[in-house]
Chains A and B, each alone.
Chain A
Amino acid sequence: MNTRTSTFSPALRLLSRVAAAVFGGYALASAAAVFLAAVLPAGPAEAALGGMQFSFAIYTVAVIWAFAPVSLPRAWAGLLLPAVVLAGLGLALRGAGGGA
C-alpha cells in the first residue's frame, strides 16, 4: 500500500487528504443526516431537523478520521463506504420512517 501512495507527490497526497476531510466528511455527514431523517421517530420535518442537528458532530469526527495515520485509500474508503450505506438505507427507509 505504501508503494502505491508514494507514486504521487506529497502535495498531491495532502490535497487528496484535505479533499477527503472536506468533501468525504461532508458526504458522510449528509448521508448520516439523511439516514437519521428516515429513522428518527418523528414527523418528516422534525426528523429532518434532528438529522441535521447531529450531522455536525459526525462531520467533525469524519475530519479527525481523515487525518488519522492511515493510508489514503483507507481514509477515503472509511468515509465513502459508510456514506453510501447510510444514504442508501435512508432512501430505502424513507417511506417507512418519515412518510407515515
Chain B
Amino acid sequence: MSTKATKVPSQGGFRQAQAWLHTWCGLWFSWLLFAVFLTGTLAVFDEPITHWMTPEHHAEEAAAAAKKEKGEPTGDRAQRLAWGMAYMAEHHPGASMWELWPSDAQGGGELRVFWFDANRQYAGVALDPATGKLLTEEGGHAARATLGGHHFVDFHYELHAGTVGLWIVGIAAMAMLVALVSGVITHKRIFKDFFTFRPKKGQRSWLDAHNAVAVLTLPFQFMIAYTGLVISGTTFMPASKVLHYGTGPSAQVRFVSELGDSDKPAATGRAMPVPVLESFAARGQERMGQPVRAVVIDHPGDAGARIGVYGWNGDDESARRLSATTGMVQFSAATGEVQRVRLPGAADGGAAMLAQSAMSGLHMVTFGGWPMKWLYFLCGLAGTAMMGSGAVLFIVKRRQKHLGEFGGATARVYRLIEALNVAAIAGLAIACVGYLWANRLVPVGIGHRADRELQVFFALWALALVHAFVRQPARAWREQLGALAALCLLLPVLNFVTTGDHLLAQLLRSDWESLGVELGVVAFGLAALGALRHLRRKVAR
C-alpha cells in the first residue's frame, strides 16, 4: 500500500511533519475522545443527574436538608455503626479491613460498608440505614435502581469495561496530549488568529472554530488530559513502582501502604473484640473538626487493631483547597490512644502525594463549589467541540478536494469516516439523552434495572452507527440531529407524564438540581435544532 496517508512528509520540515501527526493522531482518536469529553463534561454534574434520575428520593432528600437546616441530627450514628459492625462480624469476620460509612455528607441518608475480601479486593454493600438489613437492588427502597449520573463518570474513564476500558481511555488521553502539542506547533498564527472566527466560509469556518475553542481553553485541555493520565498513572506507567517493589498484588499493597500509611500496625495474633465505635467516632470528630464520613478498622478482631476516623469536607473547606483530602484521626483499638492526626487538606506523605491529591482534585473539580463546576462544564464543552470540529474539518477539507490518501480505497475510507463522525457526535448525544429517557420508561422494580438503562444507552449508540452507514451522510446528520433535538426538547414533557413533575414545580420548591438538568437538556436540544436549521439552509442554497 503506497498511498499518501502512509507518507510522513519528510521534506517539508518539522512543522509539516507535526501537521501530519496532528491530522492522523487527532482523527483516529477524535471519536473516542469526543465520547470521553462529552460524558466527562456531563460527569461534572453527576450528582444533579443522579438526583433527577431518582425522583423517589426527592422527598427524603428535602426532609434531610430541612432537618439539617434546623440543626437536628438526622440519624443515630451509634446505631448505624453498630449495625454495620454486626453485619461485618457476621459476614466478613476474616477480612483484614472493615470500613463503615455511617451517613452521607448531610448526616443522614445511607449506610455503606466496605472490606478487603479474601483476594485482597475492595468490596462493599449498602445497608438500609433504618433497619441495618442488607439492601438488594430490587428490595429495600422503592426507588428505581439506577447508576444515575455515575454512568457518565464510569463511562468517561473506563467505558464500563474495567481495566481494558481504562487502558483504552488512557491511550486516547495520551494521543490527546500529542495532538495538543503537535497542534500548537502546526498552528502558525496562534497569536494573530487568537480571536479569529470567520463564519459561513465552509472549511475556513471549521478550522477557525477548531482553533478558537482549542487555543482559548488550552490550559484547561492540557490540564484535564494530563491529570486524567496521572490519576491512574501507576497503572499506565508502572516502571518506577516496579523498580522498588517488584510486581504482583503484594507489591501493589506494599506500595500503596507505604505511600499513605507507612506506620500501619501488624496483626498480633491475639484476639480482641472490636470495641464500640461511636466513642471513637465522637472523639475523632472533635479532634479533626469535621463530621464523620467513615470509620475504618484495620485487623478487626485482633489486639493490634487500629481505628481510623475520616471526615467530610464542608463546602467552605473544599471551596478553597485543590487537594480534597479530609481530616483523619487514628486510634489504637486496644488502648484508645490517639496515634496520628491528619488535618483537613494535608496529605499523608510528601510533595508527590500532595501533587497526586491536587491533580486528582483538579481533574474531578472537587474544589471551588458550583462556579467552578460551571467553568469546568463550559471548558469541557469547548473540548468536546474541539474534538467534534476537528473530525468534521477533516472530512470537509476532503469534500472540497479529494486527497487520495488511501489509493483506490479512498472514497470508501472517506465514507467510513463520515459515518463515524455522525454516529460519534450526534449518535452519542442521542444515546446520552436516551439514557435519561430510559430512566423514566424502564419499569421500576424489574430485575437488573440499572443494567437495562445502560443497555438502552449502548443500543441507541449502536443503532445510530448502523443508521449512519445506511443513510447518506448529509441525510444521516439531519435525521440524527432531528432525533436529538426531539428527545432533548421533549424530556420535560416525558418527565411530566411519567412523574407529574415539571419545571414550574421544580422552581417553586427550589429544586435547582432537577431544574438545572432539564433546562440544560433543553439547551442541548436548542443547539441541535440550530445545527439542523443550519444544515437545511445549506441544502436549500
Interface residues of chain A, those whose CB is within 8 Å of chain B, are 9-11, 14, 17, 29-31, 33-34, 36-38, 40, 42-53, 55-57, 59-61, 63-64, 67-69, 90-91, 94, 98-99
* Among B11, B239, B244, contact of A30 (Cβ-Cβ < 8 Å): B239
Across the interface, do A67 and B182 meet the contact criterion of CB distance under 8 Å? yes
Q: Is the CB of B259 within 8 A of A45?
A: yes
Asked if B255 and A48 make an inter-chain contact with CB atoms under 8 angstroms apart, the answer reads yes
Q: Report the Cα distance A65→B395, complex, angstroms.
A: 27
Q: Which of these, B9, B243, B259, contacts A34 with CB under 8 Å?
A: B243
B355 at the A/B interface (Cβ < 8 Å)?
A: yes
- The closest CB in chain B to the CB of A53 belongs to B230
B239 touches A47 (CB 8 A): no
Is there contact, CB below 8 Å, between A52 and B244?
no
Task: Contact check, B7 vs A14: say whether CB atoms are below 8 A apart.
Answer: yes
Residue-wise, chain B 341-377 has the 8 Å CB interface mask toward A (1 for contact) of 0000000011111011001000000000000000000
A9 CA / B14 CA spacing, docked (Å): 22
Residue of B nearest to A38 (CB): B243
A-B contact pairs, 6 of them (CB 8 A): A43-B258, A46-B351, A48-B255, A52-B240, A63-B178, A68-B14
Given A43-B349, A52-B238, 5 other A-B contacts at CB below 8 A?
Answer: A11-B2, A34-B243, A45-B258, A56-B236, A61-B181
Contact B7 A49 (CB under 8 A): no
Enumerate chain B residues within 8 angstroms of A48, measured Cβ to Cβ: 234, 240-241, 243-245, 255
Query: Are B237's CB and A49's CB within 8 A?
Result: no
Q: Which residues of B contact A (CB under 8 A)?
A: 1-2, 6-14, 16-18, 20-21, 174, 177-178, 181-182, 185, 226, 229-230, 233-234, 236-241, 243-245, 255, 258-259, 262, 349-353, 355-356, 359
The CA of A37 and the CA of B243, in the complex, are separated in Å by: 8
B240: contacting residue among A37, A60, A67, A68, CB under 8 A: A37
Query: Given A42-B350, A56-B229, does the pair A90, B8 have CB atoms closer than 8 Å?
Result: no
Residues of chain A within 8 A (CB-CB) of B20 are: 67
Which of B18, B229, B240 is in CB contact (< 8 Å) with A64?
B18
Contact indicator A17/B8 (Cβ below 8 Å): yes
Chain A residues within 8 Å of B229, by CB: 56
Whether B237 and A55, one on each chain, are in contact in the complex, defined by CB atoms closer than 8 angstroms, is yes
Instruction: Report how far A10 CA is from B238 CA in the complex, Å.
Output: 34
CB pair A56 B351 closer than 8 Å: no
Which residues does chain A contribute within 8 Å of B18, judged by CB atoms?
A: 64, 67
For the complex, what is the distance from the CA of A47 to the CA of B350, rounded to whole Å?
A: 10
Contacts of A94 in B (CB 8 A): 243-244
Contact check: which of B1, B11, B237, B353 meets A46 at CB < 8 Å? B353
Chain B residues with CB under 8 Å of A67's CB are: 8, 17-18, 20-21, 182
